[in-house]
Amino acid sequence: MEHTQILDITETNIVSKDSAFIEANTIESSLDEIKSEHIIPVFIKDNEPLISQADFIQATNDVLSDVFHGEKILQPNIRLSHPIKGRIPEAKDKPAAQLQDHEKTLYYERMAFVIEVPSIHDEIAGSNLSLTIGGVKALNMDNLYSKKGADEHFKIFIGFQNKVCTNLCVWTDGYMNDIKVTTIGQLKACIRTLIDNYNANYHIEAMRILSDFNLTEKQFATLIGRCRMYPHLPKPLQNEIPALQLGDSQINTVVKDFYRDKSFCRDKDGNINLWKLYNLFTGANKSTYIDNFLERSVNAYSFTEQLKFALNKQTESWFLN
């Protein structure tokens, strides 16, 4: 893959994207804001703190700086959702409208972040892709009614971001779904293992091949109809079919963008290649909530790959029949 200029992470304040990689029910934040303004949840039985969201982001940053020493690494892009609001004891009787800033407490139950390494990049069909690492922390997955030492849950990924549309391209080999750790050291070891085992060149080539396969407008129409039927199938039949995790609202977005998206819409003959279709899926995935975002991202790739196998006569696809 190509490499651009070398720049250490401490020498840049550029954030890892110009626009949101996830949109549903989230707000933008920064590492400094989380460190200085958000309280840290604790285990109720002993009042010991969990690994904070800031610690998670910093641990990922530390591993990246070590593994990709000399590469250009941008500042994390962070999205938060599900605020948990509180107040200090002295303000317990005040009306909410009269609370002063120092009397309020706040943390967010769910957090997703990405860190871009733009000096490691490639191109597919006119789209510039750069290496991206990130994770999700959803506190609703943890048992806060326990003591320190109980498992804390994290999700991490490594893949590519399509700079045309800020979509994330993640696949199974670049994803750890449910990391259970009790220390930051264990968390760093898992992040390091994921990066060490990830084959970026293989991932890029697998995505590049998608542009060699096309759906006609009629096949696309069949696909969309089947996608809408899939959630309502009897469970035994559904279990025999490769999973589709995108919901009806995401499928509606795919249909709209099939006609209107400037970069990934159908061609003049009404056809669409699988690389463009995959990007319509990942674009629609931005409306997914944080706790399901990465799973649906991985599913978008595996689902598109199944379509490729069917078009290549390697398998049959219920979605195209």
46-103 residue pLDDT tens: 999 999 999 999 999 999 999 999 999 999 999 999 999 999 889 888 999 998 988 9
Q: Give the lowest-confidence range in 11-20, 119-128, 158-167.
A: 11-20
Residue 226, pLDDT > 70, answer yes
Distance CA 104, CA 199 (A): 46
Reported confidence tier of residue 19, pLDDT bands at 50, 70, 90: low
The percentage of residues in the chain with a pLDDT greater than 90, rounded to a whole number, is: 89
Phi-psi region of 216 (alpha: psi -120 to 50; beta: other; left: phi over 0): beta
pLDDT (mean) for 131-150: 95
pLDDT (mean) for 173-191: 96
pTM of the full predicted structure?
0.90
The better pLDDT of the pair 135, 1 is held by: 135
* Contact by Cβ (8 Å): 164, 140: no
pLDDT (mean) for 182-186: 97
* Contact by Cβ (8 Å): 146, 43: yes
Distance CA 52, CA 77 (A): 17
Q: Residue 281 in 3-state DSSP?
A: helix
How confident is the model at residue 14, as a pLDDT?
54
Rg over alpha carbons for the chain, rounded to the nearest Å, is 21
Structure confidence by residue, pLDDT tens digits, 108-117: 999 999 999 9
* Contact by Cβ (8 Å): 67, 117: no
| Token pair for 217 | 């407008």
Residue 1, pLDDT > 80, answer no
C-alpha dihedral over 161, 162, 167, 171, to 10 degrees? -60
Structure confidence by residue, pLDDT tens digits, 262-321: 999 999 999 999 999 999 999 999 999 999 999 999 999 999 999 999 999 999 999 999
Distance CA 184, CA 265 (A): 44
Q: Residue 130 in 3-state DSSP?
A: strand
How confident is the model at residue 213, as a pLDDT?
98
pLDDT (mean) for 33-55: 95
